[in-house]
Structure 1
Amino acid sequence: MAEGDTFVNAIIGAVATALLSGFVPLAPLLGGGIAGYLEGGERADGVRVGFLSGVIGLAISLVFLLVVFVFLTVFLAFAPEALGVFGAMGLLVLVLGTLTTATYFLGLSALGGWLGNYVRYDTTIGD
């Protein structure tokens, strides 16, 4: 958890994102902020560690998405008549949902990393 220990700080931010995302809106912003605050260094370091925190949080989210996808695949294997309902539109929603989730996690985490670095060096909050 030392200053400049990028991977550990990113893991801490991703865990914070995962724990908070169930009940706190914009949780990746907070997780990236924690990672950026702990990282220190330049603003670019805060953005980098925040983005890495978002990548780790996104990987956790994509594991959940994979479980949902497998469930839907098994469901459609046993109920092929439902394919008409879920077919192309379901696939489109799945792809667009994945892209939206990626943008949400990565963008907010990087912004949070920048803000965390800002709070550490340019405010009196951490003093």
Structure 2
Amino acid sequence: MSSAIIDEETVVQNRDEQTQPLSRTLDVAISLFLVLAGGVFGAAGYLLAGFADVGRVTSWVASGRITSTEMSDPELIDAVYAFIWGSGVSLTLTGVMLVGAGIAFFGVQTRARRRFDATGIVSPSTTGNAILGAMVTIVASFVPFSPVIGGGVSGYLNRGSNDSAIRTGGLTGLFASLPVVTVFAVVTWSLLGSATGLTAFILAILAFSLIVSVAYMVGLSVLGAYLGTHPSVVNAVSTTE
């Protein structure tokens, strides 16, 4: 029997194992978690942005609580204020995105369940599974190579071909990268508006770091999705060990 036939049978078997969508209770729980987490992030960002005050930062610099050997006092005040304000705004935007992700997840899962009720055929939602995988990546961010875990969850739920694994894993990595991209964009924009500004060299370093971070998230998420789509790969590795 050729490897192509074996792979096809494995995919069919994997699809048959998933006889129904995620339960409605789980959909609601995940959606509520995302919405509540978004509310916490949004509230924290709002408070942090409100905490940013030029007078307060000026008093910190004047009292010596914040010092710099590279910047003058006015430049340091502008930079610290811009950083605090930008961090608050980025947290608020992250909260809004989490709320939107919760609403979107519930919507796509509800549509998938209605399709299942009407046809009896499970049609996994790539977007919904990618959102769930991104949430797992963010929650497990303290674990090394957490994007592999998030990608694995999305790939396992999606159950498809190699192309499907790449698509699902890529979306998972991109969704998980959105908070990082948001923080980078807002903080950089706020610093550009300060008196200190950013040199082209520093901006290039920051941009390169962002690209590496996104590539890391997407690449490991695709790997995890491939392993999740083809559990036989993990079983084979475990057997050889």
Where relative contact order (Cα < 8 A, 6+ residues apart) is larger, the structure is 1
Match of 1:56 in 2: 175
Distance 1:123 1:10, change over 3 A: same
2:222 to 89, 110, 115: 110
Match of 2:124 in 1: 4
1:28 to 133, 141, 147: 147
What's the CA shift string for 1:68-107, capped at 9, x where partnerless?
A: 2134334xx24x3xx5xx5122112111111101211111
What residue ranges of structure 2 are gaps of 5+ in the alignment? Answer: 1-21, 23-121, 237-241
Kindly indicate whether residue 129 of structure 2 is the aligned counterpart of residue 17 of structure 1.
no
What letter is aligned with 2:213?
A: T
Give secondary structure in 1 for the equivalent of 2:209. Answer: helix
**Higher gyration radius (CA):** 2
Match of 1:88 in 2: 200
Match of 2:191 in 1: 72
Q: How far apart are the structure 1 equivalents of 2:227 and 2:206?
A: 31
What letter is aligned with 2:149?
A: L
Q: How far apart are the structure 2 equivalents of 1:48 and 1:114?
A: 10
Q: How far apart are the structure 2 equivalents of 1:71 and 1:12?
A: 31
Q: How far apart are the structure 1 equivalents of 2:185 and 2:132?
A: 24
Q: TM (normalized to structure 1)?
A: 0.78
Match of 1:98 in 2: 210
RMSD: 2.4
What residue ranges of structure 1 are gaps of 5+ in the alignment? Answer: none
Give secondary structure in 1 for the equivalent of 2:219. Answer: helix
Give secondary structure in 1 for the equivalent of 2:179. Answer: helix
Over the matched positions of the two proteins, sequence identity in percent amounts to: 32
What's the CA shift string for 1:21-43, capped at 9, x where partnerless?
A: 1x111111111111001111223
Task: Report the number of matched residues.
Answer: 117
Runs of 4+ in 1 over 4 A off after TM superposition: none
Match of 1:41 in 2: 160
Distance 1:38 1:65, change over 3 A: same
Q: How far apart are the structure 1 equivalents of 2:123 and 2:135?
A: 18
Q: TM (normalized to structure 2)?
A: 0.44
